[in-house]
Amino acid sequence: MTALVFENVRLIDPASGLDAPGRLLTENGRISGIDKAGTEGIPENATIIDGKGAILCPGLIDMRVEIGEPGHEYRETVNSASRAAFAGGVTSVAVLPTGTPPIDDPAMIRLLRSRGGDPDAVTLHPYGAITKGCSGEALAEIGLLAEAGAVAFTDGNRAIGPTRLMRQALTYARAFDAMIVQHPEDPSLAGAGCATDGELAIRLGLPGIPTAAEAIMIARDIRLAELTKGRLHFGHVSTGEGLSLIRAAKERGLAITCDTAPHYFDLNENAIGDFRTYAKFSPPLRSESDRQAVCAALADGTIDAIASDHTPRDADDKRLPFAQAAAGGTGLCTLLAVTLTRVHDGTLTLPEALALLTSRPAELLKLESGTLATGARADLCMFDPERIWQVRAGELPGRSQNTPFDGRALEGRVLGTWKAGIQVFGAAA
């Protein structure tokens, strides 16, 4: 394997606090040196890559991704998702278990992990289902799934509604030091709603979901986590009230963490105007005050990670009346650029933003990636934070095109992505 030398780059490694100009050397798919002076110690056959002042950071880790395979390959496959991920600087993804069949069997965990080991595929870290079939009725074999390599446990966009069942899940998972990831929405209160309850939903004639549905579920599960001493993580938190509860729980020292998705800090409910189904999500887009609360929680550290919430949908899934259309949007290739909007407006520093996309998700999922440490696998992302590009649905890498950012000009473009020292995206890929 050819050795690589990245020079004339700004190295940012949130895991170690590194943020400085320098050079980086990779050999045999691993990082072998940082900031080497001169040419001493560099192999004669090394390929020199001039970054021309670009940022070089660890490959991004997306901790909330749905792929169509198995069962819905018409929406997305591992290969098509990999193309989208690499174009966005993402080298590792945590795969939700809600496929067909669901990931509630150790064999499915092993299959996806092996698929992610292919040189031209993004690294796959499967979640295990909390309940059999993600049905919310009986616990899956958490111990066997953990042994097979499940990084955490969730039922995806299906909340664990029964309180006793959630208590059991937290208790059993604790025995394996496993994390439970909850969709924070009370299902009985959310019902068949598809938009945030309020003036806009009433005006559009859409069934609403009160924001209290998120806060009620978060409050209940925080109490259960305190009771069981289990590790609890809330996915795609979207309301100020929910974040206030999580902030208070953290201040009390509970093992509570959370993530959010770019659409919750960049868009508000007005994006669904004219019944725009590409902006239909679960949970739904919120008010502007909630969007601002998410931004504030990013700034003060309440939010531990940013995940794309990548949910591929076929055009026919979205070409339906708003209430019947499938929820979800593609997000792998826009994850970095939309996150950088909060850097450009001063909400986050660049190292803080990258920590939410690299070292923090690695820590939460107990992955060895997400760092530029010597000896680490050379999963790398090079990007220009100021280069502008336009999102165009129909022209995005990968099969899925249902982006809520269609037509948007974004500042921040990935120039190259490397997995284990092999370039998988970029001009020379």
3-state secondary structure 315-361: HHHHCCCCCCCCCCECCCCCHHHHHHHHHHCCCCCHHHHHHHHCHHH
pLDDT of residue 43: 79
For residues 215-232, average pLDDT:
98
- Domain of residue 152 covers 59-365
For residues 364-385, average pLDDT:
97
For residues 234-245, average pLDDT:
98
Q: pLDDT at residue 71 above 90? A: no
Taking a C-beta distance cutoff of 8 angstroms, is the pair 207, 194 a contact? yes
Q: pLDDT at residue 40 above 80? A: no
Q: pLDDT at residue 429 above 50? A: no
Q: pLDDT at residue 228 above 50? A: yes
Residue 44 lies in a domain: no
Instruction: For residue 188, give the amino acid letter.
Output: S
For residues 87-114, average pLDDT:
95
pLDDT of residue 99: 87
pLDDT of residue 232: 98
Please report, for the domain that includes residue 241, its CATH number.
3.20.20.140
For residues 385-412, average pLDDT:
96
Q: pLDDT at residue 136 above 50? A: yes
**Cα separation of 207 and 236, whole Å?**
21
Task: Return mean pLDDT, the chain.
Answer: 95
CA quadruple 182, 188, 194, 196: dihedral sign: negative
The two beta strands, 18-27 and 30-34, are antiparallel
Residue 178 lies in a domain: yes
Residue 425 lies in a domain: no
Share above pLDDT 70 across residues of the chain, in percent, rounded to a whole number: 98
pLDDT of residue 70: 84
Spell out the SS3 assignment of 350-408.
Answer: HHHHHHHHCHHHHHHHCCCCCCCCCCCECCEEEEEEEEEEECCCCCCCCCCCCCCCCCC
Q: At what angle do helices 163-174 and 212-228 cross, to 10 degrees?
A: 40
Instruction: For residue 290, give the amino acid letter.
Output: D
**Cα separation of 148 and 19, whole Å?**
37
For residues 396-425, average pLDDT:
96
Taking a C-beta distance cutoff of 8 angstroms, is the pair 272, 101 a contact? no
Taking a C-beta distance cutoff of 8 angstroms, is the pair 150, 175 a contact? no
For residues 106-126, average pLDDT:
95
Residue 14 lies in a domain: no
Question: Across-strand partners of 123?
Answer: 92
Residue 429 lies in a domain: no
Extract long-range pairs of 390-394: CB within 8 Å, 24+ residues apart: 391/334, 393/278
Cβ contacts of 322 within 8 Å, gap of 6 or more: 194, 195, 204, 206, 272, 275, 277, 280
266 is catalytic: no
pLDDT of residue 427: 55
Rg (CA), the chain: 21
Tens digit of pLDDT for each residue in 377-387?
Answer: 999 999 999 99
**Cα separation of 179 and 310, whole Å?**
21
Q: Of the listed 309, 317, 379, 406, which one is catalytic?
A: 309
Instruction: For residue 20, give the amino acid letter.
Output: A
CA quadruple 268, 154, 381, 395: dihedral sign: negative
The pTM is what?
0.96
- The pLDDT-based confidence of 428 (bands split at 50, 70, 90) is very low
Residue 398 lies in a domain: no
Least confident of 32-41, 181-190, 332-341, 400-409: 32-41
For residues 68-81, average pLDDT:
92
Nearest residue to 349 via CA among 19, 91, 64, 52: 19
Residue 156 lies in a domain: yes
Taking a C-beta distance cutoff of 8 angstroms, is the pair 62, 306 a contact? no
Residue 417 lies in a domain: no
**Cα separation of 354 and 54, whole Å?**
14
Which letter, b or e, does each residue of 121-150 get, where b requires 16 or more Cβ atoms within 10 Å of its Cβ? Answer: bbbbbbbbbbbeebebeebbbbeebbebeb
Please tell me the total count of domains within the chain.
Answer: 1
Question: Across-strand partners of 380?
Answer: 58, 418
